[in-house]
Structure 1
Amino acid sequence: MSLTRRGFLVALPLFLAACSTRTAPTTDSGSAVLNAYAAIPHPEFPLPALNARMIQPHLRRQEVDYDTSHAKGTLVVDTPSKYLYYVLGEGRAMRYGIGVGREGLALRGNAYVGRKAEWPGWTPTANMLRRDPEANGPYRNGVPGGLNNPLGARALYLYRGGRDTMFRIHGTNQPQSIGLAMSSGCVRMLNHDVIDLYERVPSGARVVVIQA
Structure 2
Amino acid sequence: MSSASLTSRRTFILTAAAAALAGCTTTTPSGKVAPIPQAPRRPTVPPTNPELDAMYGPVEDGGHSIPAVPYQQIDPKFYRQRVANPTGEPAGTVVVDTPSRFLYLVEPGGTAMRYGVGIGRDGFSWQGEGVIHWRQPWPRWKPPNEMIKRQPELEKYSIANGGMAPGVSNPLGARALYIFKDGKDTLYRLHGTREWKSIGKAVSAGCVRLMNQDVIDLYKRVPYHARIVVHQETLYQS
TM-score category of the 2 structures, normalised to the smaller one: 0.7 to 0.9
Contact 1:157 1:167 in 2 (8 A): yes
Q: Could you tell me which residue of structure 2 aligns to residue 180 of structure 1? A: 201
Q: Could you tell me which residue of structure 2 aligns to residue 105 of structure 1? A: 124
1:67 aligns with 2:86: yes
- Rg: which structure is higher? 2
Q: Which has the higher contact order (CA 8 A, sep 6+)?
A: 1
Report deviation, 1:43: 5.3
Report deviation, 1:203: 2.2
1:190 aligns with 2:215: no
Report deviation, 1:147: 1.1
Instruction: Map Cα deviations across residues 130-182 of structure 1 (whole Å, 9 max, x no partner).
Output: 1221x322322210111110000000001111111111000012111110011
Equivalent residue in structure 2 for 1:204, among 214, 220, 225: 225
In structure 2, distance between residues paired with 1:177 and 1:152: 13
In structure 1, distance between residues paired with 2:56 and 2:213: 6
Runs of 4+ that moved beyond 4 A: none
The RMSD of aligned alpha carbons is 1.5
What amino acid is aligned across from residue 30 of structure 1 in structure 2?
Answer: N
Q: Could you tell me which residue of structure 2 aligns to residue 21 of structure 1? A: none
* Identity fraction in percent: 44
Higher helix fraction (1 or 2): 2
Q: Could you tell me which residue of structure 2 aligns to residue 83 of structure 1? A: 102
Q: Could you tell me which residue of structure 2 aligns to residue 137 of structure 1? A: 155
Contact 2:106 2:112 in 1 (8 A): yes
Report deviation, 1:67: 3.2
Instruction: Map Cα deviations across residues 25-57 of structure 1 (whole Å, 9 max, x no partner).
Output: 622211111111122223520222222212210
**1:6-21 to 2 correspondence within 5 Å?**
none
What amino acid is aligned across from residue 52 of structure 1 in structure 2?
Answer: Y
Contact 1:68 1:91 in 2 (8 A): no
Q: Could you tell me which residue of structure 2 aligns to residue 122 of structure 1? A: 141
Normalising by structure 2, we get a TM-score of 0.75
> How many residues are aligned here?
188
The alignment partner of 1:46 has SS state of strand
Normalising by structure 1, we get a TM-score of 0.84
Of the structure 1 ranges 74-83 and 102-111, higher mean CA displacement relative to structure 2 is found in 102-111
Contact 1:117 1:154 in 2 (8 A): yes
In structure 2, distance between residues paired with 1:115 and 1:36: 25
Q: Could you tell me which residue of structure 2 aligns to residue 38 of structure 1? A: 57
**1:145-156 to 2 correspondence within 5 Å?**
145-156=166-177
